[in-house]
Chain A
């Protein structure tokens, strides 16, 4: 087994066995979506109109909640130092850790979204596109979160700071994500252009974000 695959499997297994890691994000997602109708009122027409936005905002917040897990534990117990001196370039290490975060957070959240869509009266026809858009957009979410995680590594109040740094970078993902789902529910507009933009955002962040995150990581570990 190559070192890259071994690292990916290790990170996924750690997230899985830690138990709380995946469950917390999913639970947080459920709670945020569940309290929204209590806040805006139970009008089903209104809910189905704002459902795409609520689902996307809650998804971004839920994945930020687990974002410092990408690097923090390995930094605390010294595994990150070993990885930095190992056979893999640091850029690839960060990329694999972001990929593991996507598999253990982005994918489960995207798959849970249709069930929460039911709570918000999102039309059933929109469900395939909702899952597709979230699967296309969440890689960008995980890889950009890695930049924030490496910039705030080992700082006090790193969680809040991470959210402040990364949320502005999520604006394009949010806009095109909501546009894709809204096009499926309401509009004559085609959902494909915003969906392709989401794919482009994810591909660009997969290539570029690890470079920035690795540079920040080298700085933090110096």
Chain B
């Protein structure tokens, strides 16, 4: 980790990793989609609509993964003052918000044929909606404060306060026995999904995770370069001002 603290070294590593990671992500997602759409059998009760699961579940996992990543990066900002932590936290916000949105939309589309309604105020759905609102709050806070250092620390505090929601999402289906089904993959006693559906799901989940990491690395690279351009512009302005004076 210490070697990554140098943004220049980080950029050179990212430049080398991104093409390979992009190729691997595309291969995995293509293979996962092939397994999900053509190999996995339709569910005996849900029919073909079970295939929504292969998008919905990985997106929901990554929605929580993204917020956890932001919370860990926020600790990095506040405690260790790691120079890349706030870049990581800032760039993960829009990506995490997008995955949360995908999870909400696909869940809604899956809910209509299965539950008969697009939306219920179930504990799981409500807490994921709150997660989406927290992402929007972080986004708004980042955009309202111009100085990146101050924005980073303020967003870090807000992210840590909101992190209390992540365990609530995870346990919501256990604590409140409502419409959304309980956990069926990560549970004590092993998964309750048949391997014919579980294997494509795990391939898709791995592909989605790599996609998240890929997008995040690219966004971090763009953010570092954006800050450098901004710094260079300021130097240019100051030079022009001193030359005139």
Contact A219 B126 (CB under 8 A): no
In the complex, the answer to whether B153 meets A165 with C-beta atoms within 8 Å is no
B140 touches A212 (CB 8 A): no
**Smallest beta-carbon distance A183→chain B, Å:** 16
CA gap between A167 and B126 in the complex, in Å: 14
> Taking the complex as formed, is A216 at the interface, i.e. its CB lies under 8 A from any CB of chain B?
yes
Tell whether, in the assembled complex, residue A161 and residue B144 are in contact, meaning their CB atoms are under 8 Å apart. Answer: yes
B14 → chain A closest CB, angstroms: 29
On whether the beta carbons of A169 and B162 are closer than 8 Å, the reply is yes
**Docked CA distance A169–B159 (Å):** 12
B-facing residues in A117-148 (Cβ within 8 Å):
147
B178 to chain A, nearest CB (A): 13
Cβ A168 vs Cβ B130 within 8 A: yes
Q: Is the CB of B137 within 8 A of A168?
A: yes
Are B160 and A152 touching (Cβ within 8 A)?
no
List chain A residues, Cβ under 8 A from B162. Answer: 168-169
Query: Counting CB contacts under 8 A, is B133 at the interface?
Result: yes
Instruction: Decide if B126 touches A155 in the complex (CB within 8 Å).
Output: no
Q: List the B residue with the shortest CB-CB distance to A172.
A: B168
Bound form: Cα–Cα A164–B130 in Å: 11
Which of A167, A212, A220 contacts B161 (CB under 8 A)?
A212
Q: Which of B136, B144, B161 contacts A152 (CB 8 A)?
A: B144
Residue B78 at the chain A interface, CB threshold 8 Å: yes
Q: Note all chain A residues with C-beta closer than 8 A to B137.
A: 164-165, 168
Q: Which residues of B contact A151 (CB under 8 A)?
A: 141, 154, 157-158
Could you tell me if A219 and B144 are in contact, using CB atoms closer than 8 angstroms? no
How many A residues, CB 8 Å from partner?
19
Q: Which of B136, B150, B157 contacts A164 (CB 8 A)?
A: B136
B229 within 8 A of A: no
Report whether B78 and A171 are in contact in the complex, using a CB–CB cutoff of 8 Å.
no
Complex Cα distance, B134 from A151, in Å, reads 14
Residue tally, chain B, CB below 8 Å to A: 20
Q: Known: A151-B157, A168-B133, A168-B162. Is A219-B150 also a contact (CB below 8 A)? A: yes
CA distance A168 to B154 in the complex (A): 17
Whether the pair B154, A171 counts as a contact (CB closer than 8 A) is no
Q: B134, A168: Cβ atoms under 8 Å?
A: yes
State whether B150 touches A222 (Cβ < 8 A): yes
Nearest CB of chain A from residue B165's CB, rounded to whole Å: 8
Residue in chain A with minimal CB distance to B132 = A168
Choose one: A156, A164, A216; the contact of B154 (CB below 8 Å): A216
- B145 is an interface residue with CB less than 8 A from chain A: yes
Question: Cβ of A83 < 8 Å from any Cβ of B?
Answer: no
Interface core residue of A147, A167, A168, A220 (most chain B CB under 10 Å)? A168
The docked-state distance in angstroms from the alpha carbon of A147 to that of B156 is: 12
User: Please, how many angstroms separate the alpha-carbon atoms of A171 and B137 in the complex?
Assistant: 14
Asked if A21 CB lies within 8 Å of chain B CBs, one says no
Other-chain residue from B130, B140, B165 in contact with A165 (beta carbon distance below 8 A)? B140
Does A54 touch B at the CB level, under 8 Å? no
Closest to B139 in A: A164
Q: How far is the CA of A157 from the CA of B144 in the complex (A)?
A: 8
B145:A155 contact, CB within 8 angstroms:
yes
Q: Which residues of A lie under 8 Å from residue B136 when comparing CB positions?
A: 164
* Interfacial chain B residues near A171, Cβ < 8 Å: 126, 130
User: A156-B144, A169-B162, A171-B126 given as contacts; is B133 within 8 A of A212 (CB)?
Assistant: no
Question: Could you tell me which residues of chain A, from 187 to 202, have a CB within 8 Å of some CB in chain B?
Answer: none
User: How far is it, in angstroms, between the C-alpha of A76 and the C-alpha of B36 when the chains are bound?
Assistant: 59
Given contacts A151-B154, A169-B161, A169-B162, contact A215 B133 (CB under 8 A): no
Contact residue among B140, B157, B160 (Cβ-Cβ distance under 8 Å from A161) = B140
Residues of B that sit less than 8 Å from A by CB: 78, 126, 130, 133-134, 136-137, 140-141, 144-145, 150, 153-154, 157-158, 160-162, 165
Given contacts A147-B157, A161-B144, A169-B162, 16 further A-B contacts (CB under 8 A): A147-B158, A151-B157, A151-B158, A152-B141, A152-B144, A161-B140, A164-B137, A165-B137, A165-B140, A168-B130, A168-B134, A169-B161, A212-B160, A219-B154, A219-B157, A220-B154
List, sorted by A's number, 29 A–B pairs whose CB atoms are closer than 8 Å.
Answer: A147-B157, A147-B158, A147-B161, A151-B141, A151-B158, A152-B141, A152-B144, A155-B145, A161-B140, A164-B133, A164-B136, A164-B137, A164-B140, A165-B137, A165-B140, A165-B158, A168-B133, A168-B165, A171-B130, A212-B157, A212-B160, A215-B78, A216-B153, A216-B158, A219-B153, A219-B157, A220-B150, A220-B154, A222-B150
